[in-house]
């Protein structure tokens, strides 16, 4: 098993688990990620992605990648799984320790929130192997850190250390390795305290292309304005305030 999945009522923790290969992403892991997405599409919960053995994912499995053909490239094997992850209804948190490189970095880019340890290193060295980053980096990375920085990172293939990744906004916080998952759970706790439908609608709006704004907010907000949960939560807020 290359993906360990721990399920809870409001969240799922998925751990990439090929420590002997530095969690290199192979076909079995991609298949497991698709299965996980099927579960979370049917039963939306926050997803925490992390890696075992002090590594997030050092890239794709090079032995498998070497044998892939033009037709495999056109199928977007890894990209399809990462698109599905990014489009999950509830937020995805990537808890990164050690290397998140190549395909592993692209998996992290598909998350809504990224946190890391001070020893983390992120980057896309694909051009050094005669290929390009084609599982989302060329369009997600400019959205996250801007076109100029994304161009430098992808065209040089260099790695960012954790401090630079934090300065660039590629990750939102750094935590010691032994506190990383605790920090991810704190984020998941904050999410769980909020209205799930409001959270899902906020994620939909964040992911929507610019031409869909502001119309998409109006429609999503219209649904929320009529929800029983909105009335319940606002009534509780007003009652608490009156008691104070």
| pLDDT tens-digit series, residues 54-101 | 999 999 999 999 999 999 999 999 999 999 999 999 999 999 999 999
Same domain, 163 and 42: yes
Which among 28, 31, 33 has a CA at the least distance from the CA of 15?
33
Mean model confidence pLDDT for the chain: 97
Instruction: For residue 67, give Cα distances in angstroms to 63, 81, 128, 210.
Output: 7, 19, 17, 38
* CA atoms of 131 and 156, how far apart (whole Å): 13
Q: pTM for the complete prediction?
A: 0.96
Same domain, 117 and 208: no
If pLDDT is split at 50, 70 and 90, which confidence band does 151 have? Answer: very high
One of 6, 20, 28, 106 is an active-site residue; which one?
Answer: 106
Number of domains the chain is built from: 2
CA distance 114 to 169: 9
Between CA 59 and CA 108 the distance in angstroms is: 11
Predicted confidence at residue 162, as pLDDT, reads 98
Is the domain of 141 the same as that of 93? yes
Within this chain, do residues 182 and 206 fall inside the same structural domain, yes or no? no
In terms of domains, do 71 and 23 share one? Answer: yes
6, 67, 87, 126: the catalytic one is: 126
Position 244 scores a pLDDT of: 84
Q: Does 234 share its domain with 145?
A: no
Same domain for 38 and 101? yes
How far apart (Å, rounded) are the C-alpha atoms in residues 112 and 191?
A: 12
CATH of the domain at 139: 3.90.226.10
**Is 106 tagged catalytic?**
yes
Structural domain boundaries enclosing 220: 196-243
Active site residue 226: no
Could you tell me if 117 and 236 lie in one domain? no
């Amino acid at each position: 098993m290359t993906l360990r999945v721990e399920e809870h009522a409001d969240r799922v923790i998925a751990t990439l688990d090929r420590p002997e290969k530095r969690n290199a992403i192979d076909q079995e892991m991609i298949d497991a990620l698709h299965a996980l997405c099927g579960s979370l599409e049917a039963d939306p919960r926050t997803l925490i992605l992390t890696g075992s053995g002090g590594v997030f994912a050092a890239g794709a499995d090079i032995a498998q990648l070497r044998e892939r053909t033009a037709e495999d490239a056109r199928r977007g094997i890894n990209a399809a799984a990462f698109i599905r992850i990014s489009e999950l209804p509830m937020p995805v948190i990537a808890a990164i320790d050690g290397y998140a490189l190549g395909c592993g970095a692209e998996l992290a880019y598909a998350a809504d929130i990224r946190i890391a340890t001070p020893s983390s290193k992120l980057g896309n060295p694909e051009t050094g192997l005669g290929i390009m980053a084609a599982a989302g980096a060329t369009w997600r990375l400019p959205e996250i850190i801007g076109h100029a920085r994304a161009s430098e990172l992808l065209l040089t293939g260099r790695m960012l250390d954790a401090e630079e990744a934090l300065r660039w906004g590629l990750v939102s916080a750094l935590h010691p390795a032994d506190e990383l998952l605790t920090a991810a759970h704190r984020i998941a706790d904050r999410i769980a305290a909020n209205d799930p439908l409001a959270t899902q609608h906020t994620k939909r709006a964040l992911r929507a292309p610019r031409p869909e704004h502001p119309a998409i907010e109006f429609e999503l907000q219209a649904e929320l304005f009529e929800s029983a949960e909105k009335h319940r939560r606002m009534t509780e807020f007003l009652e608490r305030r009156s008691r104070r």
